[in-house]
Amino acid sequence: MEDKVTIVGVRFDGAGRVYSFDPQDVVYAQGDDVIVESEHNIDMAKIVFGNREVERSTLLKPLKNVIRKADAVDLETMTRYAQREKSAFRIFVQKIGEHKLPMEPVKARSTFDGKKMVFYFLAENRVDFRELVKDLAQQFRFRVELLQINARSEAQMFGGLGLCGRAFCCSSHLSEFPKITLKLAKGQNLSLNSEKISGACGRLMCCLSYEEDAYRHLRRVTPAVGEPVKTAQGRGVVTDNNMLSGIVKVALERNPAAPQPFHRREVERLQPRREEN
């Protein structure tokens, strides 16, 4: 019998990856603010899902502990730190300019214990920021860490509304960024206009991956453009298809100039169906 363990799921900064933590026999509910042991610090996080049992073998690493539920004093502390983050960020921007580094400042975040400030930035390539770290460390009485992020992570941090009118997926419910390629858009017969298939971050929209399994199935069962088929009216070649409706247009051999519509169930494929990797 598999060894089971009770976990809760938490997020830091209200977005991003969900991490599993040990609730230590305390029951937590979704939305609770909690104090947890992070990799090197004590930090505040929010419960995404409450206590549940999972197989211990599914955990990638030993669990860190939820120390306790955050109280009013803890929340006040984080509010106070928010002011310190704003001040630190202004200095961060100033020092980047002084060092003339090719990086774009994004955010400053204090850990709950107040011992470390993490500065996030964007950059096209790797940046040698060692002198910048030394300069920042001389300015503050806490440890300094710089983290390079990408445009998607920036959108995840700040949130916003997508083209659909809903909150960004990355900042509302996604815990991992799916792998998105232009092939997904092509396979769904979408416009390849970058403005229509890109999110606010400038990258291809994460939601392109949501229906890919369904489209993969439809591509297997729907004759492709250029594919020879047989219909009740004779043989022909597919000139157009609509995977969602199932309608394919066939240029019949007897009248190729006027393609006729058929449902995919009404045509017989004359070649083996396509298989995808």
Same domain, yes or no, for 176 and 111? no
Task: Report whether 101 contacts 93 (CB < 8 A).
Answer: no
Domain that residue 250 falls in: 222-269
The CATH number that applies at residue 227 is 2.30.30
What confidence category does residue 1 fall into, taking pLDDT thresholds of 50, 70 and 90? very low
Same domain, 105 and 83: yes
Is 276 a domain residue? no
Whether residue 258 sits in one domain with residue 237: yes
Based on the fold, state whether residues 176 and 110 are members of the same structural domain: no
149, 178, 193 - which closes a domain:
149
Average pLDDT over residues 72-92: 92
pLDDT of 11: 84
Kindly state whether residue 12 falls inside one of the protein's structural domains: yes
Answer yes or no: is 217 within a domain.
no
Q: Are residues 16 and 38 in the same domain?
A: yes
pLDDT of residue 228: 95
Q: How far apart are CA 107 and CA 185, in angstroms?
A: 32
Asked whether residue 229 is assigned to any structural domain, the reply reads yes
Q: What percent of the chain has pLDDT over 70?
A: 96
Stretch 269-274: mean pLDDT, rounded?
A: 76
| pLDDT band (50, 70, 90) for residue 98 | very high
143 and 84 belong to one structural domain = yes
Q: What is the pLDDT of residues 207-231, one digit of tens each?
A: 889 889 999 999 999 999 999 999 9
Name the domain boundary from 70, 85, 106. 70
Pairing assessment for the beta strands 64-69 and 19-22 based on DSSP bridges: parallel
Q: Is residue 17 part of a domain?
A: yes
Read off the tokens for 182: 């232009």
Mean pLDDT confidence for 171-176: 72
In the structure, what pLDDT confidence band is assigned to residue 261 with cuts at 50, 70 and 90? very high
Task: Give a yes or no: residue 214 inside a domain.
Answer: no
Q: pLDDT at position 41, please?
A: 77
Q: pLDDT band at residue 188, thresholds of 50, 70 and 90?
A: confident
Domain end call among 122, 149, 176 = 149
pLDDT above 60: residue 277: no
Q: What is the pLDDT of residues 128-169, one digit of tens each?
A: 999 999 999 888 888 899 999 888 887 877 778 888 888 888
Residue 136 within any structural domain of the chain? yes
Domain count, the chain: 4
**Same domain, yes or no, for 162 and 179?**
yes
Whether 36 is covered by a domain: the verdict is yes
pLDDT digits (tens, 9 = 90+) for 31-61: 999 999 887 678 898 898 899 998 888 887 7
